[in-house]
Structures are given as C-alpha cells and as structure tokens.
Amino acid sequence: MMVQKRGNVLTHIFLIIIVAVILFPVVWVVTTSLRRDEAAFSSKLFSSRLTLQHYRDLVAPEKNLPFLIQDLQAMVSRVKPYDTWSEDELKDAVKRSIEKVASYLTETENRLKSAEDSFKRIEAFLNDHSDEIKNSVIENLQELVSSIQTPELDDSDESKAALYLVLSKERFNSKVHRALEEDLKKTTGVDASTREGYEQALEILRTSYEKLADGYDELLEKTQKELNAVREEILSLQQQYQNLQDDIMEANLIIEKDITPELERIKASLSDLNELKERIKQTTASSLFPVDDSSFLQNVSNMTLTIDNLLSEMDSLVEYENLRRSLATLKGELEKLSEGNEELKSRLLYSDLIKIYEEIQPRLVRILKETSETLTSIKDKIVILNVLNKRLEDLRLQEKSLSEKLSEYQQSISEIHKRLLEPQRILSLKVFKYDLQRSISTLERVKSFGKTDLLRYSSVLKTLRDFMNSYWEKDELYSRISKVVRGMRWIEEYRDFASKFDTFPENLKSILEEMRLSLSDLERSYEDLLSLSAQGVYVSSGILNRMYDIVKMDFVSKVRANMSVASRRAGILMDLVPFSDLKGDLRNIDKELFRIDQIWKQKTKHYFWLWVLNSVIVSLIVAFITTTVCAIAAYPFSRMRFLGRRYGIMALLLIQMFPGVIFMIAIYDLLNFMGKYIPFIGIDTLGGLIFAYLTNIAYNMYLIKGFYDTIPTSLEEAAIVDGATRFQSFYRIIIPLARPILTVVFLLVFIGTFNEYVVARIILQNVRHYTYALGLQAFATGPYETEWGLFTAAALLGMTPMVILFLSLQRYLVSGLTRGAVKE
C-alpha cells in the first residue's frame, strides 16, 4: 500500500505571508536609514538614492558651514569652551576653521559646476533626441485615437437633448463647438459654422430638450428660487428670534441679579421700620404738636397700589416666582407700615420714622419703575416671539412642501438625464478624440525640447488626465490612456526638474561670492578681534553674523527649496527616463546637490552616543540590582517555611500587576524630596531614574523562585552535613546552578529598561541626561519635517548594546528558558 504524501502548499504560503508581515517593519527601518529621500514621501520600499550620511551624522557629525561659523563666533567671543584657551591657540584654531570654510565654498562651487555640466549634457541629449521623443509620443497618441470608437448619433430627441446639454454652456467657435460641428449640422440641418447658424441650431436643440424635459426644468428652477427665498426668510426670522431670546435672557439676569436683590434689601429696611414702629408704640415721650402723616400714608398707599399692578401684570409670567414672592412680601411690609398709625401721631419719634421712610422711598420708586419697564419689555418680546414662532412654523411647513416638490422634480430630471447618458458619453468621446487630434497637430510643430515645447507636452498630459478623471468606467480605453500617461510622466517630471534647476544656480553663485568677500574680511580682522577679546572685551563679529544670516536665511530662502526639489526630481527621473544614457548624469546631479545641501544645512545638535551610554549605564545598574535583590529574596520563599510565605509572594505579584506609571506622581514627589538632601538621587538625574526603575521586583522574584524549586534540596543538605552554613550553600551551590535563570532575568530587565520611555520622559529634563529611547524623540521631530532617515539610523545603531549583550548571553538564555538544574 502506497502512502500518499500530503501537500503543504497552503501552509507554506501562509508562513511566507506571516514572515513577510513580520519582517516588513525591519526592512522598512533598514531601507529608510539608507535612503537619501524621505520614506514618508515615497511609495517605494526600495530606492536607488542611497546614502550613509545618516550614520555619519550620528557616529561622527560633520562640522559643516553653519557649525563652523557658530564655532568661529564662539572663538572670537571667547565663550565656553574657548574661554581658557590662549591667544595663540585661538589664532591657530580660527585659521584652520577659516581654511575649512574656504574649502567648503570651493567644494560647493566645484559640485555646482559638476551638476551644471551634467544638466547641460542632459539638455543637449534631449534636444538631439527631441524628434525621437516627439515621434514616440505622437505614435502613442495616434494609436490611442485609432482605438477610440465613436458611434454616430441618431436623429432621436435624446441625441438632440444630449447635444444641447453639452453645447449650451459653450460659446461659439469653442473647442467643443468645433469638435461637434458636424453632429450639430447633421441633427439640426443648420450650418453652424457662423454665429447666427450656431445660435439657430442651439435653439432647435433647446426645443427638443424642453420637449423631453416636459417643463420640469422650469419647475425645478422656479421651485428652487421659492425654496431659497423661504430659507432666507427662515434664517432672518431665526436671527430675530435668537436676538429676542438673548434680550429676554438679559432681562432675566437683570431681574435675578439686580432687581430681586434690591427689592429684598428694601423689604429688609421696611421690616426694620415696622420693628421701629412697634418700639415707638411703647415709648412715652410725646410731641407738642401731632405729626401730619397724610402725605406719608398716601405715598405708602401709592407704592402698595403700584406693587398690586405689577403683581397683576405677572399673572401671565409664571416663571418669575422669586420676583413675585419679593414683591408680595414687600407689599406686606408696606401694608403693615400704614396700619394703626393714629396713636403714633403724638409720639415724638414718629416723625423720625417718616423721615427714614422718605430716605427709602426714592429707591423704592426707582426699583419699582425699573421692574415695571423690564416686565413690560419682556411681555412685548414674548408677544413678538409668539408671532415669530407661528411664522416660522408656517415657513417650515412651506419649506418641507417645496423640498418634497424639488426632490420630485429632481428625480424626474435625473430619470431624463439617465436617458441622455449614453449620447453624452458618445459626445465626450468625440470631443476627447478631437482634443487628441489637435494635440498631435500641436506636437508635430515641436522642433526641440525647450521650455515652450515642454509646455505643449504638459498640455497633452493635462488633456489626458482631465478625461481620465471624468471617464465613467475602468475599461480597455482607460487602460490605454493610463499607459500613455505613464509613458509621458517622465516629461512632466523633467519639466519640473529643469524649471527648478534653472532657478537656484545663479542665486547660489551670488551667495558664494558674498561668502568669499565676508571670509576675506574675516581673515584680515580676526587677529585684532582676538586681541580685543584677550583684554577682557566682549567681541561679537558682525562679519560672522552676516555669514550666518547668509547660511541660515539667504541660502534657505533662495536656494535650498528649489535645489531639494531638483535633487528629488533627478532621483525620480533615474527610474522614469527612457534613455539609459541620461541616468549617469541624473545620478551625478542628485549626488552633487545632496552633498551641497549637507554642507550648508543647519543640522540638529544631538548627543547620540551620550544618550546610548546613559541607557547602558542605567540599564546595567538596574539589571544588576534587580537580579541581585530578586536572587536573594526568592531563596526564602523557595527553601524556608514561615508565616505568610504562601500568600506573601502572591500579594507582591498582585501589586506588580498595576502599571508603574500610575505611581509616577508619588515617585516624582519622593525623588523631588530626596533630591534636596541626596542630590544624585533627585529629579533630572540618572540616579533618580535608576531608583524609579527598581520596581519590577515581584515578577522576577517569582520567576527565580520557580527555578530554585527545581534544584534538589539534597545538594544543600549534603553541603550542610559537610559543614557549610545556609548562606554558603546558597552562594556556592544555588547561585552557580541558577546562573541560566539569573542571566535571563538580567537580560530581560536590561532590555526593558533600555527601551523604556514614559518614566524617563517624566523624570529627565536636561538633554544631556536623556536615555537612548528618550533621545530618539529628537530625531522623530525635526525643525521642518520628521527626519525618518536619521530616526531609523539612530534606532539601528542604538540596538547595538542590546544585540551584543544578547549574543554574548545567548547560551545562558536558551538554557534558562528551557531547563532547570539536575533532577533527583
């Protein structure tokens, strides 16, 4: 019996896909670190524009022009680190820096000349082959024209209506008119070569269209105008409605914040008067002449009547309960004040009570008047609001009705236009075919490959792309057009490349000339400047300031943008241009312009190796302390018996389940406090960061404890019988046997600490104290854009310590994860 071998094709395909997905980020990081262009702006994973510049910037940063100019200014001013140098040392250093600046200017000039020579050769080559390029494009366009099949229009109303829709927006003798002139004559029987004939033919077509549309166009237009008018009125009324609501809200605030509190204060004053009135009744001092209180009582009566009127007005305003209550209590106080005054007329103090009331009365009159005006205003506005609300309801009903009608008319028009869709497509193809024929005629007049000719090619490309964007399906014709567009894309890229390359060389040459003149002035004056600074005078060179402005501002604004675009276009053309003879010159232009940019570019200052060193130091110390503490702490849980042994380690593990970040406020406060007394364990110190990282104890202790459990106790018992102490058996027997798991813990803690970001971001502030993970952020955010090349190169270089440690401890790592010690 034969055994049939099962195929594993699907398994292999699945594994290949999984491996590709897993390796894609790694491949992207590696390729991006070597790319001259930014990966974020390219759809290609691999590029022909490769460079090691990112690694050079990290390993041994170049002292380019911006750095040298700033360094020269520091030397002249004698600031750190040059404040301790002698004058002779500074003169030698300045002289060397000036020579280096001069060499950079010469290098820039030579590289620009090399790029210009390559550009001239490219121009000459393309001009020599302009006929070949032209014939190739014309041939492709002719093939495209021959592939376009345009059926003839019939004499139906649909064809005439479609022709009207296309031509109604076109003026006489336009491109579309000339393309469809024969169809226009055929369907209408009118010679449309004259303006009068064209207008007459359109009138005939309009009749056919109106017949087909059955008046829906006019109804649609009329209904749309009515709907727009209704919506405008709704918006206007809504604005008025909102303004009235705002006014009412403002009046409510006046009542709540001003009127009601003032009424309460007056009520309190009147309440005090009533208390005074009761006390006067108990007095015995009398007046020689009875007090005339008629005016007083009349005024109190008038105030009471005014409040009654206000309360009557508020019957329709149910929401002002606080105001109503204040007015009612005020009325009560006034009524109480006017009752039983006959026996008081002979009292001496009664006249004083009346005088006090007269002091209060103007406030009462004013506040009651303000209350009346405010309530009247609110009532008037409420009436207007009700009217507006009713009108808005009517308008919304009208809007709904008109919208339904409009939708109905639009649906009818849409159904009519669907019937015209096929004739319109035929007409679009005819117009496109006519455009292509005109484009061919235009290209036949091309004699070279200059700027004017490039504009003609761009016009052809625009025609093709416009039609592609409006084309209705992805069929064979669409594929043919796409192929022609792809074939002509290099011409468009070359046009952009040539226009940018024509712009910046003259600007760069003028900048080089100005830099040379400034450098010459500096050579003549730097010794005098150094002598002055040696005498304690602070010196700042205006020449160097001007040179730095040229590098930082003039070069960036006048040269760098166009030069970068030209360099990038040269890289793209290397892959697109159909002539292999040009690729060498394009590569040379890209290389020379990239190098010029590196010479003049203001680069981000970083301390990459210091960051890596900080991470290595912190990770090694944390890993060593954690491993040591865990190794010692795990031993009692494995070998000894004590109260809480079983649940103690579980409690520690439970605490470990909470992420350490949630304790960061407490840790930050603790480090801030400790830093006052122990400076090297505080905020913004590596010691403080190490202290914050010593939290991952329980998990590693549990891991080591599990490994200890696999080591036979008989080994320790034999050692103790031979005279060893418990501690000696621990570090002479258990520790050597547990080396694999201790290595695993050490390595895992090292890797976790090395890559940690959040805690370091909170504790560290000084850029020189940054760890590797924190320092990568500086590369992720450049001054103008994300520097992906530098970021990925830093990520790869920063992996070196972990890779070295991992490879050196790999033997212990494998054994620690796969086996324990000798079993009994």
511 within a domain of the structure (yes/no): yes
**CA 631, CA 157: separation in Å to the nearest integer?**
94
Residues 533 and 680 placed together within one structural domain of the fold = no
Q: Exposure of 13 by Cβ count < 10 A (0-12 exposed, 13-18 middle, 19+ buried)? A: exposed
Q: Same structural domain for residues 543 and 660? A: no
DSSP 770: -
Q: At residue 157, does pLDDT exceed 60?
A: yes
Q: Residue 801: pLDDT above 90? A: no
Do residue 788 and residue 655 come from a single domain?
yes
725-754 tens-digit pLDDT:
888 888 888 888 888 888 888 988 998 899
Mean pLDDT over 169-186 rounds to 86
Instruction: Give, as one character, the DSSP assignment of residue 180.
Output: T
Classify residue 148: in a domain, yes or no.
no
Which residues touch 353 (CB under 8 Å, ≥6 apart)?
Answer: 273, 276, 277, 280, 344
Task: Say whether both 662 and 540 belong to one domain.
Answer: no
Q: Which residue, 542, 568, 602, sits at the end of a domain?
A: 602
Distance of CA 642 to CAs 250, 627, 727, Å? 75, 23, 18
Average pLDDT score, the chain: 85
The per-residue DSSP string of 583-648 comes to HHHHHHHHHHHHHHHHHH--PPP--HHHHHHHHHHHHHHHHHHHHHHHHHHHHHHHH---TTHHHH
Number of domains in the chain: 4
Question: How far apart are the C-alpha atoms of 144 and 111, rounded to whole Å?
Answer: 44
pLDDT at 229: 93
Flag whether 533 is in a domain.
yes
**Residues 473 and 502 occupy one common structural domain:** yes
SS in 3 state form for 510-575? HHHHHHHHHHHHHHHHHHHHHHHHHCCCCCCCHHHHHHHHHHHHHHHHHHHHHHHHHHHHHHHHHH
Other CB atoms within 10 A of residue 775 CB:
22
Could you tell me if 729 and 621 lie in one domain? yes
**CA 790 to chain centroid:** 21
pLDDT at 260 over 80: yes
User: What pLDDT, on the 0 to 100 scale, is given for residue 133?
Assistant: 93
pLDDT digits (tens, 9 = 90+) for 456-504: 999 999 999 998 888 878 888 889 999 999 999 999 999 999 999 998 9
Per-residue pLDDT averaged across 433-457, rounded?
89
Measured CA to CA, the distance from residue 319 to residue 209 in angstroms comes to 62
Are 216 and 413 in contact by the 8 Å Cβ rule? The answer is yes
Lowest-confidence region among 313-317, 584-588, 706-710, 819-823: 819-823
In a domain, 225, yes or no: no
- Give residue 299's pLDDT: 87
* 199 vs 9, more confident: 199
Asked if pLDDT for residue 365 goes beyond 80, the answer is: yes
Instruction: Look at residue 822 in the predicted model and tell me its pLDDT.
Output: 43
What confidence category does residue 220 fall into, taking pLDDT thresholds of 50, 70 and 90?
A: confident
691 and 771 together in one domain: yes
**Among residues 567, 602, 637, which one ends one of the domains?**
602
Would the pLDDT of 816 be above 70? no
Token code pair at residue 792? 């990925």
CATH number at residue 750: 1.10.3720.10
67 in Cβ contact with 92 (< 8 Å)? no
Residue 422 in domain:
no
368-386 per-position pLDDT tens digit: 889 888 888 888 888 898 8
What pLDDT shows up at residue 140?
92
Residues 6+ apart with CB under 8 A from 799: none
The pLDDT, as a whole number, for residue 817 is 53
Whether residue 612 sits in one domain with residue 756: yes
Question: Both 1 and 81 in a single domain?
Answer: no
Q: Is 80 among the domain residues?
A: yes
pLDDT of 163 > 50? The answer is yes
Give the highest mean pLDDT range of 110-114, 233-237, 349-353, 405-409: 110-114
Mean pLDDT, rounded, for 801-823: 67
- Residues 226 and 405: their CA atoms lie apart, in Å, by 11
Task: Looking at the structure, tell me whether residues 264 and 402 fall in a common domain.
Answer: yes
pLDDT at 786 over 80: no
Rounded Cα gap, residues 278 and 341, in angstroms: 10
Mean pLDDT within 63-86 = 89
For residue 702, the model assigns a pLDDT of 80
Quick: pLDDT tens for 753-783: 998 888 888 888 888 899 988 888 877 665 5
Place of tokens 């400790």: 674
CA atoms of 360 and 151, how far apart (whole Å): 99
From 587, 602, 617, the end of a domain falls on 602
Of 142, 133, 118, which is closest to residue 449 (Cα–Cα)?
A: 133
Give the pLDDT score at 639. 79
- What is the mean pLDDT of the segment spanning 579-594? 92
Q: Which domain holds residue 571?
A: 62-129+449-602
According to the model, what pLDDT value does residue 821 have? 40
Which has the higher per-residue pLDDT, 440 or 23?
440
38's CB contacts (< 8 A; 6+ apart) are 785, 786, 787, 788, 789
Answer with the residue of higher pLDDT: 716 or 41.
716
Is residue 66 one of the residues assigned to a domain?
Answer: yes
According to the model, what pLDDT value does residue 186 have?
85
How would residue 554 be classed by pLDDT, with cut points 50, 70 and 90? very high
Alpha-carbon 476 to chain mean position:
41
CB 79 within 8 A of CB 490: no
Residues 333 and 469 in one domain: no
pLDDT for 820 equals: 45
Q: What is the pLDDT of residue 491?
A: 93
Mean pLDDT of all residues in 41-56: 73
The reply to whether 214 falls in a domain is no
Distances (CA, A) of 616 to 308, 524, 777: 87, 48, 18
Q: Which residues of 551-575 are buried (b: 16+ CB within 10 A; e: fewer)?
A: bbebbeebbbebbbbbbbbbbbbbe
Taking the C-alpha atoms of residue 644 and residue 343, their distance in angstroms, rounded to an integer, is: 92
Distance CA 380, CA 308 (A): 20
pLDDT of residue 324: 86
Cα→Cα distances 144→134, 397, 463, Å = 15, 56, 13
Whole-number Å distance between alpha carbons of 151 and 427: 9
| Predicted confidence band of residue 126 (pLDDT cuts 50, 70, 90) | very high
Query: Are 457 and 567 part of one and the same domain?
Result: yes
